[in-house]
Structure formats: C-alpha cells, structure tokens
Structure 1
Amino acid sequence: MEGVIHIPAGEHGVIRLFRLDMRPEQAVFLREPGALAQVLGIDALDMEQVEIFPVSDLEELGLAGYLTEGMGVPEEQITPDRERLAALEGHVMVIRSRAFGGREMRLTPAEQIKPVATYGTPGTSWSGAPIETESAKPYSAPKLAPRKARAEARRIGATLFAVVMGLVGLVLYLLVR
C-alpha cells in the first residue's frame, strides 16, 4: 500500500518530518484535539510530541539547525538532506515516536501531508563495567546489633517527642497569653 507509514511497536528515538501542502489556517487547525489523528488515519496521538510550525519562524537557524541543535539529530544524518531542508517553505510538522505511545500504527496521511525525512536520535548507552568494590555488594553495610538498633530508635523517638511537645507547649503559651 503506497502512502502507508508503518510505526513498529516500541519505537523510540525516531523523528519524522512532514511538509504540509495546505493553507496556514488549515495547518493551524491540525493542532486541535483529534484533527491530526484523523488526517493521519489513526485513533489517537500525543500532541505534546508533535510540532507544527512555519519554516520561516526558524529564521537564520533553519530547519537543519533546528533538527540538529533543537531535537538532537546527529549532523551526519542531516548533511545529505541539508539542501532539501533549506528549500522547504510553508508549514512543516515534526512527530517524535513518543507521540504513538509505543503502539504499532499504520499512518495513512492525507494527500496534503507529504513525508520529507525520518531521522533517528542517539539513545543512551546503559552499559558499563561491573562495579567491583566491596561497598557495592548487597548487604555489605555494617549491621547494628539489635540492642544498639533499639537504642538508636529510642533516642530518635525521644528527640522527636521532645520537639513536638515543645512546639505544642509554645503554641499553648502563645494562645493563653
């Protein structure tokens, strides 16, 4: 099926750029609840993850600068499309993959919504060397003897009781005075 954009389940870190071939008031209307989802042929979309704006708003930053500096797209991905991005006029739409809520979707955009490019943002590397220190091992903190732990708890409780009773006494003194 031509014109269908498949969004896989669990997708993250993907930014899709679309050109909007429509009048400015139509582009602004897409920000209304449910309007964009309808023209994309889906049920729902998180509008917090969608941006619709005229390219002219970017002034000297330009669309390429916005994507690299504002959205974190690596420069290497933008370089081949730089001239094409600079030539875009009118309104554009940027959709982050978070807009789909991790669900699999098939977008069937209206004919006025033209896909321009898809970019990936680098993910966080959660890998690291294992921590070998003694203090990082489970249950490695020194254990208090039960008698010392009870004495510590009593001391903390007595201190809190004294502070609360002092505050109550102060409030009573100020009220009676």
Structure 2
Amino acid sequence: MAEQMSVSSQEHGLVRVFAVDLPAEDIAAFKERTLSGDQERWPLRSALGATYLDEDFIELFDVADLEELGLSGYMAQGLGIAADEITEARRQLDTVEGYVLIVLSKAFDGVKQTLTPRRPLRWIGTFKEEGAGVQFKPLQSEAAKGSVSDTPNAKTKNPHLMVMAAILALPILITLIALIVWLIAW
C-alpha cells in the first residue's frame, strides 16, 4: 500500500521532495495536463494522489540542471530550507539523479486532502521552509529619522458639527433634485 501524507487546510511552509523514476523522454507526457471532454488527465497529480494541485507551486526538473549547486544547495538557497534540515538529509539529497518533483504547501491552496504517492514518484523527504529572521535595525533613510512625538497634532473635527452640516445639506439636495425633475418633466 502506498504511504499516505496528510495535508491540512492550514498547512504552510512545507516542501515535499520526490524522485521521479521515469526516463527523460517520458517526463513531458507525465507533467502535461490534457482535457478530454469533461475529463482532465494529469498523470503527475494522479501519481501524487492529490485531489487538488496548483501547478504554479510545483517544480519538475532534472537535477543535472543544478550543476555544482546540487539539490541540497538548491533547497537551501532557492527554497529557504533550514540549514540543519539540509545537513541531516544532504547525503540522501545529493545522491538523487534524474528528475525531481518539488511540491510546496501553496500547491494545495488550503484544500485538506490525503496524498497517496505512487510510482513513478518516490518520496525523498518533507522539509520546513525557514522563516525570515526578524531584525530590529534602525532605518537608514533621512525620512525615517525623528520620533513620533515630533509630528504635529492633527486637527480633530467635531463629529457633532459634521452631523449638523449633513442635516442642513439634505433639504438643499432634495430641493435641487425636485427642481431638476420638474424641469425635465415640463
């Protein structure tokens, strides 16, 4: 039985990596989506066992295209995977040859589902994107200098006066509309 992977509706920041055990000449047909009447045929989504998949957030490429960067380097520099996760899986990642499929959490667009990956996909691992570190450095721009207390107080408008003005303007507006209707009808 194929291994199952749960995708929650709140999932974010995960990157699933699969080896694609297909010859290069079969890759185009594997990733191609075709429509025949009402039926959509997409072998990649079927092999992943996904009910919903946004192709804008998946990557399918030959590892050889990464040259000396390698899969582990691409995951760290290109996908923002935490360095400690890459260190633990580096040997496994760098021995992958041929094509890989990378599926980001955004590919599921919040659709809860259970993945059941099967041939030609072979699961390599699931990794967590490293969050951007928060930095509290002062801004360097001249426009950012000063403090909030240096700003002049904004004039506060009396809400009662605004309501009074609206009440006085209403009869004038009604009179103008009545005049326009009377002129058009006459």
Q: Number of residues paired by the alignment? A: 139
**Aligned positions of 1:76-87 closer than 5 A:** 76-87=84-95
- Secondary structure of the corresponding residue to residue 119 of structure 1: strand
8 Å Cα contact 1:42/1:107 also seen in 2? yes
Does structure 1 retain, via aligned residues, the 8 Å contact 2:58–2:107? yes
AA in 2 matched with 1:12: H
SS in 2 for 1:93: strand
Structure 1 residues 22, 11: closer, same or farther in 2, change over 3 A? same
- Give yes or no for contact 1:49–1:96 (8 Å, CA) kept in 2: yes
Structure 1 unaligned regions, length at least 5 = 151-177
Q: Could you say which residue in structure 2 is the equivalent of 1:3? A: 3
1:13 CA displacement:
0.4
Does structure 1 conserve the Cα–Cα contact (< 8 Å) formed by 2:45 and 2:53? Answer: yes
CA offsets per residue over residues 67-97 of structure 1, 9 Å max, x none?
Answer: 0000001111100111111111010110001
**Counterpart among 37, 45, 56 of residue 37 in structure 1:** 45
Whole-angstrom distance in 1 between the partners of 2:78 and 2:55: 18
Distance in 2 (CA, whole Å) between partners of 1:124 and 1:75 is 13
Question: How much does 1:35 deviate?
Answer: 2.8
Across the aligned residues of Structure 1 and Structure 2, the Cα RMSD in angstroms comes to 2.7
Percent identity between matched residues is 32
Amino acid in structure 2 at the alignment position of 1:98: K
Is 1:68 aligned with 2:81?
Answer: no
What residue number does 1:50 align with? Answer: 58
Q: So what's the TM-score if we normalise by structure 2?
A: 0.66
The residue matched to 1:30 in structure 2 has which SS? helix
Deviation at 1:122, TM superposition (A): 2.6
C-alpha distance in 2 between matches for 1:124 and 1:68: 13
User: How far does residue 143 in structure 1 lie from its aligned partner after superposition?
Assistant: 2.1
Question: Residue 35 and residue 111 in structure 1: after superposition, are their counterparts in 2 closer, same or farther (change >3 A)?
Answer: closer
Name 2:176's counterpart in structure 1: none
1:15-164 pair list within 5 angstroms = 15-33=15-33, 34-123=42-131, 141-144=154-157
Calculate the TM-score normalised by the size of structure 1.
0.69
- Structure 2 unaligned segments of length 5 or more: list them: 34-41, 137-147, 166-186
